[in-house]
Amino acid sequence: MLDQKRHERIIMQNQTPLAERMRPTSLENYIGQKHIVGEGAILRSAIESNLLPSIILWGPPGVGKTTLANIIAHQLKRPFYALSAINSGVKDIRDVIDKAKSNTLFSQNNPILFIDEIHRFSKSQQDSLLGAVEKGTITLIGATTENPSFEVISALLSRCQIYILKPLDKDDLLSMLDLAMKTDNILKKKNIHIVEYEALLRLSGGDGRKLLNVFELVINTIGGDKIEITNEKVTKIVQQNIATYDKAGENHYDIISAFIKSIRGSDPNAAVYWLARMIEGGEDPLFIARRLVILASEDIGNANPTALVIANNCFQAVNVIGFPESRIILSQAVTYLAASAKSNAAYMAINSAIETVKNSGDLPVPLHLRNAPTKLMKEIGYGKDYQYSHGYESNFSNQEYLPENISGTKFYEPGNNAREKEIREHLKKLWGEKYNY
């Protein structure tokens, strides 16, 4: 009888995916996200002091959002309820809240409600959480791959702290593989030698779950107890078994990546193909439209400012129309954006400016640019010598607008396209050699 039970446990273990077998149960074994759960980090401090607010974990797939929620509940010894926004409704939420209320009658530890893919909840579903979150009946932990500013209602957002989880870096992913080979009951019995890591890391895309899924697929395909892994073997095995390792839904992110890159690459034919793949796959049309709004600024920008107008109008129209008719609106916007001139100058400009802010700190605003609402401020020089541009020829005055320490720094470099060439010539005429346009 004991041998039979042991045999059943071994079978169950073999059926459990490696990514699930390797799911950590404590912060000590949790890989990545040191900026929020490392020693002394803000979320870790909240957990250790048992003063956890309702939170939203925002990050790409496979970086540990669900795992972190489970670890928090385990470490705080709180009742844990989990719902998926894909298959849960208002009734499910109310049932959990009722159970939570019953629990708090007998315990001072209010339960944790974990909602995976909270961005998929409708407004009414999110509204049903408000009272319980506000009263502290539950501590909400929401997980999302989408920007919560767009996807979570403001009333709920204001009651939660948002923590951004980052893609796992190379060291994190290598640590994950090393830990799996050393501690997993199945893998540690095998003689696994990884000759080359590049293909495993490339296919993971910073997604820990995907990395372990691919790793397990390669090991099982090669078979035996002595396994040598090379880039060639990994690539060949994965190409032959895409559906096998992609069953968790990572293909969703590969397709949206191909879609965006096709538009960026000015190929309307490929772009509309990937659009069709998403439509046939049941993708949320607003998810697609939102990506187009971002792309219109990131990849087109001032090369064709109308692109942002088209993309924004597309988003609004899709929001009103819905499928199936909105496929036509999406197709119009996608083909327009793909055929448009491209420039990432605006994207590069803000990234460069933010980097300067981080490195330079809070540089003082030049006195002549400061607001002077009071007499005292005027007396000490606020606003003095400011030159009102509209009072000068061509509505331009050659005065300093940047802090003195970074005077002459150029953040915006107009792109190599017809419209931005005009912008470059205009700026050169205004500023001469100051910004070296």
Over the stretch 207-220, which tens digit does the pLDDT of each residue have?
A: 888 899 999 999 99
pLDDT above 90 covers what percent of the chain? 44
SS3 321: helix
Residue 239 lies in a domain: yes
Domain final position from 284, 306, 339 = 339
* pLDDT tens-digit readout, 108-134: 578 899 999 898 888 888 988 998 898
Query: Which stretches of 296-369 are DSSP H helices?
Result: 306-321, 326-339, 345-360
Same-domain check for residues 154 and 257:
no
* Residue 437 falls inside a structural domain: no
The answer to whether residue 54 is domain-embedded is yes
Q: Which of 218, 245, 272 is the last residue of a domain?
A: 245
Task: Say if 103 falls within a structural domain.
Answer: yes
User: In the listed set 245, 271, 291, which residue is the last one of a domain according to the structure?
Assistant: 245
pLDDT reading at 142 higher than 90: yes
Question: Same domain, yes or no, for 149 and 58?
Answer: yes
Domain that holds residue 93: 32-164
Neighbours of 62 (CB within 10 A): 25
Here the CATH number for the domain that contains residue 413 is 1.10.3710
Per-residue pLDDT of 379-398, as tens digits, reads 777 778 888 888 888 888 88
Measure the CA–CA gap between 265 and 122, rounded to whole angstroms.
34
Q: Are residues 416 and 375 in the same domain?
A: yes
- Judgement on whether residues 136 and 43 belong to the same structural domain of the protein: yes
CB 119 within 8 A of CB 152: yes
352-359: long-range contacts (C-beta < 8 A, 24 or more apart)? 352/411, 353/411, 356/406, 356/409, 356/411
**H or E, element range at 161:** strand 161-164
Give domain status of residue 58, yes or no: yes
- 235 and 260 within one domain: no
Does the structure show a pLDDT above 80 at 373?
A: no
For residues 209 and 244, the answer to whether their CB atoms sit within 8 Å is no
Per-residue pLDDT, averaged over 314-340, amounts to 92
Give dist(CA 387, CA 364) in Å, integer: 19
Whether residues 51 and 159 fall in one domain: yes
Q: Which residue has the tokens 């506000």?
A: 134
The reply to whether 159 and 79 lie within a common domain is: yes
**Residue tagged 């005292």 (tokens):** 376
CA–CA separation, 237 and 239 (whole Å): 6
Quick check: is 350 in a domain?
Answer: no
Residue 114 within any structural domain of the chain: yes
Is residue 378 in some structural domain? yes
- Total domains in the fold of the chain: 4
Q: SS3 of 80, please?
A: strand
| pLDDT at residue 304, rounded to an integer | 94
Shared-domain flag, residues 309 and 326: yes
Cα 37 to chain centroid distance, Å, stands at 18
Do 318 and 198 share a domain, yes or no? no
What pLDDT, on the 0 to 100 scale, is given for residue 14? 53
The model's confidence at residue 421, banded by pLDDT at 50, 70 and 90, is very high
pLDDT at res. 294: 94
**Quick one: 143 and 239 in the same domain?**
no
* One domain for residues 306 and 290: yes
Alpha-carbon gap, residue 320 to 313, rounded angstroms: 11
CB 272 within 8 A of CB 334: yes
**Under 8 Å between Cβ of 271 and 256:** no
* Of 254 and 166, the one with more pLDDT: 166
**Distance (Å) of CA 354 to CA 296, 348, 349, 434:** 20, 10, 9, 21
Which run of H or E residues covers position 233? helix 231-240
User: How far apart are the C-alpha atoms of 45 and 163, rounded to whole Å?
Assistant: 13
Per DSSP, what are the bridge partners of residue 81?
A: 113
Are 39 and 156 in the same domain?
Answer: yes
Instruction: Give the DSSP per-residue string, 168-193.
Output: P-HHHHHHHHHHHHHH-TTGGGSEEE
